[in-house]
Amino acid sequence: MLSGARRPGGKLPPVEVVAIYAKERRPPRGEEPIEWFLLTSLPVVDFPSACLVLQWYQCRWEIEISQLYCGSREHLYFTAA
């Protein structure tokens, strides 16, 4: 359980989180494997649900990278509409 953040108007309620640890199985030759420690408020009850949550966060990361290359979020939303 994480304490709620302090915001103007009061403190937010605590948030229950789950920790997921992931390590790349087959990194590119000569590269160190990526290790990822993720805290999420999404439900994780078993290995398949942990894999699904990791896939969702991977998609989010890919969206962030595409926004970086597009130069703005408005461009991304416009092209997706």
pLDDT range class, residue 1, cuts 50, 70, 90: confident
**What pTM, to 2 d.p., does this model score?**
0.62
- The neighbouring-strand residues paired with 6 are 11
- Residue 76 clears pLDDT 60, i.e. is over it: no
pLDDT in tens, 16-42: 999 999 998 999 999 999 898 999 999
What six digits make up the tokens of 41? 């408020």
pLDDT in tens, 53-66: 998 888 877 777 77
CA proximity to 23, closest of 10, 7, 34: 34
Q: Could you tell me the CA-to-CA distances from 21 to 13, 15, 41, 49, 56 in Å, in that order?
A: 25, 19, 14, 13, 15
